[in-house]
Amino acid sequence: MDSTFSSGLVWFRRDLRSDDQAALYHALRQCRQVHCVFVFDREILDPLPRADRRVEFIRESLVELHDALRKLSGDEHGGLIVRHAVARDELPALARSLGVQAVFTNHDDEPQALERDHHVRAVLLALGIRLLTFKDHTVFERAEVLTQSGTPYTVYTPYKNAWLRKVDDFYLSAYPVERHARRLARRPEGLRGPVPSLQAIGFEKTTLAQLRIPTGMSGAQQLLKDFLERIDAYDDARDFPAIKGPSYLSVHLRFGTLSVRQAARLAHERSRKGSAGAATWLSELIWRDFYFQVLAHHPHVAGSSFKPAYDAIAWEEGKQADEHFAAWCEGRTGYPLVDAAMAQINQTGYMHNRLRMVVASFLMKDLGIDWRWGERYFAEKLNDYDLSANNGGWQWASSSGCDAQPYFRIFNPVSQSKKFDPDGSFIRRYLPQLARLPNAALHAPWLAKPIELEAAGVVLGRDYPEPLVEHDAARERTLKRYAVVKGG
């Protein structure tokens, strides 16, 4: 095959794998030799805490990616060029020094990323270098799934139905990277160093290893294999935080160590054979695409409500709001399921999906605090943080987003606790101070009999806090608060 370019550069970002990688495949097809780079972007990293599991996850995944690219190239000096710099400056400079004619990368529709890519494209163009971008982290993106009138969907179910009508083997097939891997280039002298250590880029080791979070492509495949043995039960098991129900693949989809095409292909095949669990998981992957296209078409959601009327809600402010928010963040609300969930995210960087809905509802509809506060906290803590999904989930819970739950749907944290952690296993794991309470008292300790509290060694206000608010009264306040958008 004739090549369009003599030399190209693949810029890895949220796509840290060597198999089924769109930009890498297109570069190998269009260039006689292909260099590969990842930039630890200081614009993103510098504001982060020095111990950040996401940075360690990326670093460990890059070690595996580098080794995979080196082996594919068949050259001991092949592999990944890794830089620690401001990407918008470093990428054009590297492309120029390598003498490439084109840079290949995959789409990223977050507003900050789009602005960065616009800048890089302009600088590269001035150097006579093209920037070519491709779809990789979704099955369908941007304007690929539209209504019959050609407008973006704003309601999930019709979007899902259209997604399912359109999907076929072509959209779910893998890019055969290995077939063209002979075009991977040797790294130039001076750029052959190993993936830098965390310390070299100013970060510290985290609890990633202790938490046994598998990294890289091999980690993704290990988790996927395990999940496929459980996927048929996913529709029921996924709601119970104490059991192994979820896929635990979200961080791998976030950083692209797993191809979403592979995930969707397996789910689609299994769902067509009648697996309700696989169909439910496929629906979750479609939700992911849905939120990406919402962000692409409505970038204002990154800072304000999808439904503008909801920005008129008067959220709580002042000292008490600050204190209540701190108590929510630290798991001191007095509602065990909420507090256990917050302990989970604080200790592990993960929170079960059912609990994300419960704690979000509690923050906004029990404490009356702006959803954006919670969104920012999750952005700081979640290993799998993704702007579109995090924003979409918070706006769904706040009733202000696309196809959100009705404003009058308010989760009762005690009812949710009894239903989804009936024997208290999850609560006991994260709130050991309550472990000796009987099940009947565990979900609402303030209603426990004095003899039960005494037998369990629990003194409310000392060992565990009294509730910040009374749920029924908070519910009435929320209905009044949302009256400004009644019918919205």
Task: Judge whether 205 lies within some domain.
Answer: no
At residue 487, the pLDDT reads 53
Of 297, 330, 357, the residue at which a domain comes to its end is: 297
Report pLDDT for 488. 47
DSSP state for residue 430 in the 8-state scheme: H
Q: Within this chain, do residues 293 and 318 fall inside the same structural domain, yes or no?
A: no
Q: Look at residues 235, 263, 297 and tell me which one is the last residue of a structural domain.
A: 297
Write the DSSP string, 284-327: HHHHHHHHHHHHHH-GGGGTS-SSGGGGG-----SHHHHHHHHH
- Do 314 and 446 lie in one domain? The reply is yes
CA 158 → CA 146, 152, 165, 287, distances in Å? 10, 11, 11, 12
Q: Measured over all CA atoms, what is the biggest interatomic distance in the chain, rounded to whole angstroms?
A: 82
130 and 144 in a single domain? The answer is: no
pLDDT at position 407: 85
* Domain extent at residue 291: 137-173+216-297
> Helix (H, G, I), strand (E, B), or coil: what is residue 448?
coil
**Are 110 and 13 within 8 A, CB to CB?**
no
Q: Which of 115, 136, 157 is the last residue of a domain?
A: 136
Instruction: Give the residue from 222, 257, 214 showing the smallest Cα distance to 14.
Output: 257
In a domain, 197, yes or no: no
CA atoms of 385 and 251, how far apart (whole Å): 8
In angstroms, rounded to a whole number, what is the distance separating the alpha carbons of residues 97 and 334?
A: 59
- Burial class of residue 445 in the structure, from the number of CB atoms within 10 Å of its CB (0-12 exposed, 13-18 middle, 19+ buried): buried
pLDDT (0 to 100) of residue 151: 97
Are residues 316 and 458 located together in one domain of the fold? yes
**CATH (domain of 146):** 1.25.40.80
Q: Using the Cα atoms of residue 232, residue 235, residue 236 and residue 242 in order, give the sign of their dihedral.
A: positive
Return all residues near 50 (Cβ < 8 A) that are at least 6 apart.
202, 203, 204
- CATH code of residue 34: 3.40.50.620
Q: Both 66 and 150 in a single domain?
A: no
Q: What's the sign of the alpha-carbon dihedral 452, 454, 460, 462?
A: negative
In a domain, 380, yes or no: yes
Q: Is residue 167 part of a domain?
A: yes
**134-155 core/surface letters (b: 16 or more CB in 10 A; e: else):** bebbbbbbeeebeeeeeebbbe
**Do 168 and 283 have their domain in common?**
yes
Within-domain flag for 202: no
Residue at 179 is within a domain: no
CATH number for 456: 1.10.579.10
Domain count, the chain: 3
For 70, 217, 240, 421, the CA distances from 18, given in Å and listed in that order, are 10, 8, 35, 40
Q: What is the pLDDT of residue 470?
A: 97
Residues designated as active site: 284, 287, 315, 353, 371, 394
Same domain, 346 and 467: yes
Residues 144 and 287 in one domain: yes
Give the per-residue pLDDT at 176: 98
Q: What are the residue ranges in the chain where pLDDT is below 50?
A: 488
Examine the domain organization and report whether 362 and 384 are in the same domain.
Answer: yes
Whether residue 201 lies inside any domain: the answer is: no
User: What's the pLDDT at 22?
Assistant: 98
Task: Report d(CA 194, CA 173) in Å as an integer.
Answer: 32
Give 152's strand partners. Answer: 146
147 and 26 in a single domain? The answer is no
Residue 50 falls inside a structural domain: yes
Q: Computed over its alpha carbons, how large is the radius of gyration of the chain?
A: 24
At 470, which amino acid appears?
A: E
Residues 480 and 339 in one domain: yes
Residues 145 and 19 in one domain: no
| DSSP code, position 434 | G
